[in-house]
Amino acid sequence: MSEQIRVAVVGAGAFGVKHLESLAAIDHARVTVLASRPEDDVAPLVERFGIASVETDLGAVVARDDVDAVILATPTPMHAEQAMTCLRAGKHVEVEIPMADNLADAEALVALQAETGLVAMCGHTRRFNPSHQWLHRRIAAGDLSIQHLDVQTFFFRRTNSNALGQPRTWTDHLLWHHAAHTIDLFTHQTGAEIIAANAMAGPDHPELGIAMDMSIQLKASSGALCTLTLSFNNDGPLGTFFRYICDNGTYIARYDDLVDGREQPIDVSSVDVSMNGIELQDREFLAAIAEGREPNASVAQVLPCYRTMAQLERQLR
């Protein structure tokens, strides 16, 4: 792929920076504009990544002739409407997970993508982490069959803050963000429909107004089970840990790293061109644009995850 794709990154927070770092490693990507809030100091990022232009309004971004595609790393409540703004302006769009915080907006985004024919992708990064890719290939080849996917998603959070500890203007959510990673991964890895889903939530935080603990159970049509534990109360090792209990082995994935059930490392360095899941996600987005095809983790492909989350939300109410 030789022709450069001109990309606008919208959002200069923790994940905006991750995308800028990833795009810098991709030869056929050129970041032409960075957009953020007027009060954000983006000068260090502009200098670091050699970005020519800065905007503070998404409308101005999508009106530019030097933007082919937009990556949205903005607050969750903005995702669906901003992604649709990009599509209406004729721009391909990759929106960070979740693509919406309710089912109606997710379905509207999928419908608009089908109408425009543009590439619209959501940042379901677990599909791209080398650890999960290694397992996906073995499952697809018939070497493994998932019996039980046991997942722990653990954070320690008392304030609205991002992955860098910086303050947020919006409130994160265990179901409509963090559970989305696992629910989509479960269907992606099993290749099966979720036929049963149950959820329980602990007490809401008195100031944040969100459940700080959650337990989710899923069953796929293949018979595979998924048990997902999520907490903002865990004061210990942080992150998400995936234990694949299979018919022919047990594996533990920690983001881009993989070990077997006895903690013996598995080399996944040759799975893809990078060990960075975000970079691989961005490479897929740009490749889909260049090749005129549907990307892995298109908004249409991940929609079943959002239907399951809506079902779980109704239970929690």
Q: Is residue 266 part of a domain?
A: yes
Q: Is residue 101 part of a domain?
A: yes
33 with 3: CB under 8 angstroms? Answer: no
Do 116 and 191 sit in the same domain of this protein?
no
169/143: higher pLDDT: 143
Q: Is residue 227 part of a domain?
A: yes
Do 133 and 86 sit in the same domain of this protein?
no
Do 135 and 255 sit in the same domain of this protein?
yes
Q: Is residue 307 part of a domain?
A: no
Neighbours of 38 (CB within 10 A): 6
235 with 145: CB under 8 angstroms? Answer: no
What's the structural domain count of the chain? 2
What is the pTM assigned to this prediction? 0.94
- Residue 47 to residues 8, 14, 16, 52, 66: CA-CA distances in angstroms? 16, 17, 15, 9, 19
pLDDT exceeds cutoff 90 at 210: no
Q: Is residue 18 part of a domain?
A: yes
Do 61 and 151 sit in the same domain of this protein?
no
Q: What is the pLDDT of residue 165?
A: 66
Alpha-carbon gap, residue 58 to 254, rounded angstroms: 35
Counting residues of the chain whose pLDDT is more than 70, the rounded percentage is 96
CATH number of the domain residue 200 falls in: 3.30.360.10
pLDDT class for 18, splitting at 50, 70, 90?
very high
CATH number of the domain residue 106 falls in: 3.40.50.720
Domain that holds residue 162: 129-271
pLDDT tens by residue, 249-264? 999 999 889 999 999 9
- Residue 165 to residues 128, 158, 161, 192, 272: CA-CA distances in angstroms? 25, 11, 5, 37, 30
Q: Environment class of residue 167 by beta-carbon count within 10 Å: exposed (0-12), middle (13-18) or buried (19+)?
A: exposed
Do 164 and 38 sit in the same domain of this protein?
no
Do 284 and 188 sit in the same domain of this protein?
no
Q: What is the pLDDT of residue 173?
A: 87
Q: Is residue 80 part of a domain?
A: yes
Q: What is the pLDDT of residue 1?
A: 43
Do 19 and 107 sit in the same domain of this protein?
yes
pLDDT tens by residue, 131-140? 999 999 999 9
Do 294 and 212 sit in the same domain of this protein?
no
Q: Is residue 308 part of a domain?
A: no
Q: What is the pLDDT of residue 163?
A: 60
